[in-house]
Amino acid sequence: MLNETDLLQALRRHWEYASLDQDITHEIYHDDAVLEFPQSGERFEGVENFREWRRQYPAKLKFHTRRITHRDDLVIVENLISYDGAPWMFSVSLMEFRGDRVAHERIYIMDGWEAAEWRRPWRAERSADPAPPPP
């Protein structure tokens, strides 16, 4: 596994280039990496497969990384994602590393929602980064 500084730099570079350069974006993966979207049931095997469909992706993506947490060979990245300038959605990537590259990634994408008023008596103050970044 990469040291923390190199890991964070590689992951930030990954999302910085996500809609600009698919060769740079995919530097973090092993050739035999697996990418899954559990919400749609899709599974892509081999970095060449998901690099190529991402090259064909019909929307312009924009990312904002909120938090990166890692333990041993597991990294969890919490992002906001926007498709073609649409409202921000929440995204979580679970990335399993083998050595210094990603071997398996699972991505979840979902809309946010307003907190239910009836839960107010039990909840803590809002998290430090509740709002999407400016456009």
Q: Dump pLDDT digits (tens) for 36-73.
A: 999 999 999 999 999 999 999 999 999 999 999 999 99
Helix or strand (DSSP H, E) at 42: strand 42-45
Q: Which tokens go with 22? A: 């698919």
Looking at the predicted structure, is the pLDDT value of residue 13 above 60? yes
Contacts of 12 (CB under 8 A, 6+ apart): 65
| Residue extents of the structural domains in the chain | 4-113
Looking at the predicted structure, is the pLDDT value of residue 86 above 90? yes
Starting at the edge strand found earlier in the chain, the sheet holding 89-98 runs: 42-45, 29-37, 101-110, 89-98, 74-83, 61-71
Q: Quote the pTM value.
A: 0.87
CB-CB contact of 16 with 8 (8 Å): no
Give residue 17's pLDDT. 92
Looking at the predicted structure, is the pLDDT value of residue 133 above 70? no
For the structural domain made of 4-113, what CATH number should be given? 3.10.450.50
